[in-house]
Structure 1
Amino acid sequence: MLPSSPKPLINTALQHQHKWRGRIGLTLVASLSVLAGMTDAIGFMASGDFVSFMSGNTTRLAVAISEGDLGLTGRLTLLVATFILGNALGVIISRISKRHALPLLLCIATLLCGAAAWPMAEQLPAVLAAIIAMGMLNAAVEQVNGLPVGLTYVTGALSRFGRGLGRWMLGERRNGWRVQLIPWAGMFVGAVIGALLEHQLGIKALLVSGLLSALLGLVSLKIPRRWHLGYMPR
């Protein structure tokens, strides 16, 4: 009698690994989205500026230009440029650290804690530090099992969810569109927590965001290395 082929067992093991890689990745996405939502709510309530929602700052910039408000135009231009710089730094740090999440998240934690400790009378440096941190955060996870995800912005996630819903209503059965609600839900929950913290602590609530970033960095050490390589940008 010929021995049974090991291929079915291998395929089952690969499917099981793929499923768990997705679950762990989406849990990480949800956690990092909570961090982004917290930070954005704290920054917005303390300063009136978004620190991760650059779509909002872009609209504000356009309005400021139309009204001829040169001071606000300059400030918002600086905020958007700082966010772009943060994204670039995130990729650079990711590459230097050989795509380990811990160094990146510790850098983010340092920036957020530094922003929390900045004197209230000079708020702009604290806001810029938080914006750089949020830009860098996008390098922590870029995709999960081939599905694109955003951490500090959820318009794209809601758009992908809505398009997936439309295809489902037409009878198409594609996978992946439902999980786009995960970063949205994480950011929403984080924003609620951040707003409550800001009411109590003001901009010093960014210290909680910094501690959460450091904690998530330590937790990321438990994620298998080959999985994390698939999450982070190349």
Structure 2
Amino acid sequence: MSRGPLETSKTSPFVRVRALRNRVGLTFVACLSVLAGMTDAIGFLAVGDFISFMSGNTTRLAVGIAQGDTQVILRLGFAVLAFVAGNALGVVFARWGGRRALPLMLLISALLCTAALLPLQSQVTVLLTAVLAMGMVNAAVEQVNGLQVGLTYVTGALSRFGRSLGRWILGERRPNWHLQVVPWTGMLAGAVAGAALESQFGIRALLFSAGLAAFLGLVSLKIPRSWQRDYMPR
């Protein structure tokens, strides 16, 4: 029995490659979210501020402004600026690196190593260095086959997941809507690991984050360059 055009298209090499690219990209997203969650938990427990969760820092900054707490205002104000700068520098460095993940991930690893080895008394410097690194992580993957992803923040992913769930309940069957839960799951798992590591090693636990960043950079060498160019910011 001959196959119809629709069945043939579903099993065509193009469709199979696209599906594989999607799985690889989402696996990389999950791993990067583990890195973000791990680093955020370590930083929060060690210095008392979020490293990648800028919504939380923004709320705490607003409270500091209302209370007139100059120390909080300066520390968290600079943290938010460092995160924005990290995102901008991540895009610039990704372009300079030919839109390959390895150079970017090695730079992130170096920044996290620096944050881990700084004296804990220099809390603000530790905070800003780690925040800068987490801002840059977002340039490693921006989208996977048209699906927008966030690596260091999951509020948007949960919101998109919830709205898509509502559409699914109404009978709308949009493809890949459930994949928005991937970064949330990765960040949750990473935060659990980060909390456990911080309880044993303190701020030095950021060395594990640095090692994971370098490892993911090396793993990215196995991802075809054309796929990486598709994942990273244009």
Residue in 2 that maps onto 1:143: 143
Aligned counterparts, 1:34-113, within 5 A: 34-113=34-113
Question: 2-side partners of 1:100 and 1:92: how far apart?
Answer: 12
Query: d(CA) in 2 for partners of 1:161 and 1:9?
Result: 28
Q: Which runs of 5+ in 2 are unaligned?
A: none
**1:220 equivalent in structure 2:** 220
Secondary structure, aligned partner of 1:165: helix
Identity of aligned residues (%): 62
2:206 aligns with: 206
- Report how far residue 123 of structure 1 moved: 1.8
- The C-alpha deviation readout for 1:70-114, integer Å capped at 9, x for no partner, is 221111111000100000110010010110100000000000011
Secondary structure of 1:172's match?
coil
Q: How far has the Cα of 1:230 moved from its partner? A: 0.6
Q: CA RMSD in A?
A: 1.3
TM-score (norm 2): 0.95
AA partner of residue 144 (structure 1): V
Post-superposition Cα deviations, 1:123-143, rounded to whole Å, max 9, x if no partner, equal: 211111100000000000000
Count of matched residue positions in the alignment of Structure 1 and Structure 2: 228
The separation in 1 between residues aligned to 2:124 and 2:112, in whole angstroms, is: 13
In the alignment, the residues of structure 1 paired with residue 45 and residue 70 of structure 2 have an alpha-carbon distance, to the nearest angstrom, of 23
For the residue of structure 1 that corresponds to 2:150, the secondary structure is coil
Deviation, 1:9, is 7.5
Deviations 1:166-212 (A, max 9, x none): 00000111112100000000000000000000000001000000000
Distance (whole Å) between structure 2 residues aligned to residue 222 and residue 28 of structure 1? 11
- Gap regions ≥5 residues in structure 1: none
Letter in 2 for 1:136: M
Amino acid of the structure 1 residue aligned with 2:12: T
Distance 2:127 2:80 in 1: 12
Q: Distance in 2 between matches of 1:179 and 1:212?
A: 23
Give the counterpart letter for 1:83 in structure 2: F
Q: Take 2:206 and 2:120, find their aligned partners in 1: how far apart are those partners?
A: 13
Runs of 4+ in 1 over 2 A off after TM superposition: 8-11
Code of the residue aligned with 2:35 in structure 1: it is L
Q: Secondary structure at the match of 1:221?
A: helix
Cα deviation, residue 121, structure 1: 1.7
C-alpha displacement at 1:11, in angstroms? Answer: 6.8
